[in-house]
Structure 1
Amino acid sequence: MPPRPFVVDLDGTLLRSDLLFESAMAFVRSNPWHCLKPLVWLCRGKAFLKEQLAEATDIDVTLLPFDPEVLAMIEEQRKQGRIIVLATASHHLLAMRIAEHLKVFDDVLATSLECNLSGTHKRDLLVALYGESGFDYVGNALDDLPIWRSAERAYVVNPLPGVGLAIESLDNVVEVVRSGATNFRDWYKAIRIHQWAKNALIFVPLLAAHQISNPLLLLHSLLAFVFFGLCASGVYVLNDLLDLEDDRRHPSKRNRPFASGRLSIKSGLAAFPCLLFISFAGAWWWLPRQFAAVLATYYVLTLIYSLVLKRIMALDVIALALLYTLRIIAGGAALELELTVWMLAFSMFMFLSLALVKRYAELQAALRNGITGKTGGRDYYPADLAMLSSLGAASGYLSVMVLALYIHDNATIALYAFPRMIWFACPLLLFWITRIWMLTHRGRMNDDPVIFALRDRLSLAMGAMFGLIFWLAA
């Protein structure tokens, strides 16, 4: 008598993700102006939705996060001469491509336009093919419960909430695999709390106005910092969901929680609107309305950047510089302080230089990996390195010129007791910009330049000296 077929589910079991959500995010990224179309398709049924998404997207299945423990389980069963069957609710076009990639399946059962192969539909098909208790089944969700009941042996992989209690009624569970447990560290990385350091720019208007000792304004700045951080975290989560494939091609970004499958796309789709709601509700309730308006502008620009601008040469770095400058504008709006043109011009030139540092470092890394074409969905080539360094250094030096001109402004003379002291900040800033670009040219800029500066001892020391100069000038 031949051994029982070993039937393996795909989404959440063999794959640490869900192809329905994978294809939906890929569709939204490539068709942002038609992002609501999947909801129209869903009205005609899940099977129709899956077919339309499968045909409209081109997911690289070789990059998907497969569970190594399930692959090892399959290999062990293959060595015993068992038939291995992939039975999935994902569309057959995607299932066949995965089977062709992995080359471990003898048969593939998947969703077609006629039937969404999940739950009882999958159970009925398996029983019709192999008989009651004529197969073993590996799954992870409550939808798999009727299939486990009809299987001879049940294998449970990374059970979803509620599954652990439900399988207690089964007497055929032989193994429960927990290889993808989510922890707090994954969410900490996903919302990127360390990136909140960039939001310290919100305090710049408070410092520039010499109002740091005003408790009410300081409280408003702290609230603005928190609400801006929550908004930025929501944007980071959404951006990661839209950039899954690009992140998986990157040597380090592929380890991000969503790209690696440690966090589900579904949880991300629930988290980012919650973060945005808390952010905007708090901003509307506790701070001036203009702060909420700036926050909304930041969010819209970030969304446009993620969907469109990040893939357009020059516009991407200008947008990044503007996003940094909006943090300063947000700080002014939260405190209802008027910002000077010098401050905004300095910010745009400085952060344009740092945005170009980031692109230069990315291209340099691509060149080291032997990539000569466009990288990571960006509209740059390694041959652009010389031009990027020229533009970036020039932009950084222009920020120093803006600072020098600021010293002679009438408002500056009125605000500072010793405005000429600020001249000492100019060579300090020239040295820092030159050093950043030299380190980048030497291949030592392996992080976001702003984060690098916050971790670099010399940059921190120079930042302290920069602040001291302005304090002495006051």
Structure 2
Amino acid sequence: MEQLNGSIPVDPADPLLSGAAALSEPLAALLPVGGRTPLRLAAGLLQTARPRQWIKNVLVVAAPVAAGDLFAHRVPLRLAVTFLVFTCASAAVYLVNDAKDVHADRAHPVKRNRPVASGLVPVRLAYATGLLLAATAVTAALLLCNAAAAGVVVGYLVLQIAYCTSLKHMLLVDLAVVAAGFLLRAMAGGLAVGLPLSRWFLITAGFGALFMVSAKRYSELVLMRDHGGRSRALLDAYSDTYLRFVWQLAGAVTVLSYCLWALGTADPAGAGAAGLLPWRQLSIVPFVLGVMRYAVFADRGTAGAPEDILLRDRPLQFIAVAWLAVYSLAVWNL
């Protein structure tokens, strides 16, 4: 073609050439772009599914741990299935979200490097993979868990897709919807193994999620204010004082509800009657310390990546292990 173009003059305004260019546009989407290969395509889909975010799905064990039934018959297997189900569901949401926001992401200095925005993963493929994963998640929950767990997964998918399309543009509603995603994970784990969900457990999990989500938004706002730029379409509608108020209030309600839960679930014969010490009530201490430790990062405006804090902060991990040890003693009545 280079030799031909060098010997034959070509008029860019030629209608035939323009028509050929227009015809080639839809065909270009079917051809390899930037060295697109099946391996790179699979890697792009995996990257779009946000593997680092899968740690959130560990919340499915929250209800069985709280009830002391984590190692009961068939519970670990059910929880493993529920974890995989929510991994598929959350990956589906990320794929659909990136496909929907492809034009906005291409105008963003960082998000334009995402696989869908960069053109590595075609938009239609992202949509198709997302829908396939969503259908797989619901079917697996229905066949391998129960109808209640499948209903929670459907609710999660509907809520998150609504968030991607419209709810993320509504003040405060966006915080509540993201927090609800965490709460639904915790609910699914309990329902999948047939556990009744305590009202105090739901309140603690819900406001704990709101605490982390609002701290994340506060950190994003502080980062935007200090370094310039814009992270979310709705972020500049918040003030840092308001978001600080939200995460402080949510943290206080989380601590209060956990205290009421721990104090209200004592052994009928009296606190500590079944064990050496009132371990369930004593678990309040590491729980409150954990909230206070996380609040350090929220106060600094560095809680923008909760998964990084949970995976890298040694004191917080030590507190979590201490809480688990004390609560385990309560469950085992030692």
TM-score normalised by structure 1 residue count: 0.60
Partner of 1:285: 143
Q: What CA distance in whole angstroms lies between the structure 1 residues aligned with 2:111 and 2:10?
A: 36
Deviation at 1:427, TM superposition (A): 3.8
Residue 118 of structure 1 pairs with residue 23 of structure 2 = yes
Preserved CA contact (<8 Å) 1:195 1:451: no
State the partner residue of 1:454: 311
Question: Partner letter of residue 192 of structure 2?
Answer: A
Residue 317 of structure 2 aligns with an amino acid whose one-letter code is: L
Q: Give the C-alpha shift of residue 205 in structure 1.
A: 1.8
CA distance in 2, matches of 1:178, 1:348: 44
- The answer for unaligned runs of 5 or more in structure 1 is 7-81, 88-107, 120-138, 145-157, 162-176
- The residue correspondences of 1:39-58 to structure 2 (distance < 5 A) are none
- 1:200 shift after superposition: 1.2
Question: Which position in structure 1 is the counterpart of 2:183?
Answer: 325
1:86 to 1:197, Cα distance in 2 relative to 1, 3 A: farther
Say which SS state the counterpart of residue 278 (structure 1) adopts: helix
Gaps of 5+ in 2: none
Highest CA radius of gyration, 1 or 2? Answer: 1
Contact 2:221 2:235 in 1 (8 A): no
1:363–1:385 Cα contact (<8 Å) kept = yes
Instruction: Show the counterpart of 1:212.
Output: 70
Maintained 8 Å contact 2:54/2:87? yes
CA deviation profile, 1:37-72 (whole Å, cap 9, x unmatched): xxxxxxxxxxxxxxxxxxxxxxxxxxxxxxxxxxxx
Q: In structure 2, what is the Cα distance between the partners aligned to 1:251 and 1:427?
A: 44
Superposition deviation, residue 455 in structure 1: 3.5
How large is the Cα RMSD of the aligned pairs? 3.2
Picking from 223, 227, 233, the partner of 1:377 is 233
The Cα shift of 1:293 comes to 1.0
- Structure 1 CA distance, aligned partners of 2:287 and 2:5? 69
Give, in angstroms, the shift of residue 381 of structure 1: 3.6
Cα pair 1:428 1:462 within 8 Å, conserved = yes
- When residues 457 and 253 of structure 1 are mapped into structure 2, their CA distance, relative to the original with a 3 A threshold, is farther
Instruction: State the match for 1:160 in structure 2.
Output: 31
Q: 1:294 to 1:84 in 2, by over 3 A?
A: farther
Which stretch shifts more, 339-348 or 257-266?
Answer: 257-266
Matches of residues 113-192 of structure 1 in structure 2 within 5 Å?
A: 117-118=22-23, 143=27, 160=31, 178-181=34-37, 182-192=40-50
Is the contact between residue 321 and residue 347 of structure 1 (CA under 8 Å) also seen in structure 2?
no
| Matching residue of 1:33 | none
Partner of 1:388: 243
Q: Larger strand proportion, structure 1 or 2?
A: 1
**Offset at 1:319?**
1.1
Is the CA contact (8 Å cut-off) linking 1:86 and 1:109 kept in structure 2?
yes
Taking the aligned partners of 1:394 and 1:178, their CA distance within structure 2 comes to 49
Q: Distance in 2 between matches of 1:432 and 1:84?
A: 70
Compare the two structures and name the one with the higher helix fraction.
2
Taking a change above 3 Å as real, the CA distance of residues 455 and 238 of structure 1, as seen in their structure-2 partners, is farther
SS at match of 2:97: helix
Find 1:367's aligned residue among 208, 221, 225. Answer: 225
Secondary structure, in 3 states, of the residue corresponding to 1:215? coil
Q: Higher relative contact order at CA 8 Å, sep ≥6: structure 1 or structure 2? A: 2
* In structure 2, distance between residues paired with 1:375 and 1:110: 40
**Contact (CA 8 Å) 2:34, 2:120: kept in 1 or not?**
no
Tell me the equivalent position of 1:132.
none
Aligned residues of 1:247 and 1:253 also touching (Cα < 8 A): yes
Indicate the percent of aligned positions where both proteins have the same amino acid.
Answer: 24
Count residues with an aligned counterpart.
320
Match of 2:322 in 1: 465
User: 2:294, 2:112 → 1: CA distance?
Assistant: 26
Cα 1:322–1:438 change in 2 (3 A) is same
Alignment partner of 2:119 out of 261, 264, 282: 261
Letter in 2 for 1:188: L
Cα offsets for 1:61-91 (capped at 9, x unmatched)? xxxxxxxxxxxxxxxxxxxxx989599xxxx
Once residues 216 and 407 of structure 1 are traced to their aligned partners in structure 2, the CA distance between those partners, rounded to angstroms, is: 27
Distance, in Å, in 2 between the alignment partners of 1:368 and 1:248 is 24
Q: Does 1:432 align with 2:303?
A: no
Q: In the alignment, is residue 400 of structure 1 matched against residue 275 of structure 2? A: no
Q: Does the 8 Å CA contact 1:422/1:470 hold for their aligned counterparts?
A: yes
CA offset at residue 291 of structure 1? 1.1
- Give the distance between the partners of 1:251 and 1:191, measured in 2 at CA: 20
CA distance in 2, matches of 1:405, 1:211: 21
3-state SS of paired residue (1:399): helix
Distance 2:12 2:237 in 1: 43
- Give the C-alpha shift of residue 281 in structure 1: 1.6
Partners of 1:86 and 1:426 in 2: how far apart? 76
Q: Which residue of 2 aligns with 1:348?
A: 206
Q: Name 2:194's counterpart in structure 1.
A: 336
SS of aligned partner of 2:18 = strand
Maintained 8 Å contact 2:220/2:301: no
Aligned-partner Cα distance in 2 for 1:439–1:211: 32
Give the CA deviation at 1:421: 2.4
What code does the residue aligned with 2:195 have? L
Distance 2:122 2:52 in 1: 22
Q: Does structure 2 retain, via aligned residues, the 8 Å contact 1:407–1:413?
A: no
Structure 1 residue 262 displacement after superposition: 2.1
Q: Deviations over 1:321-379 (max 9, x none)?
A: 111111111112211110000100001111111110121122122223334xx752225
Q: Using the alignment, how far apart are the partners of 1:346 and 1:427 within structure 2?
A: 15
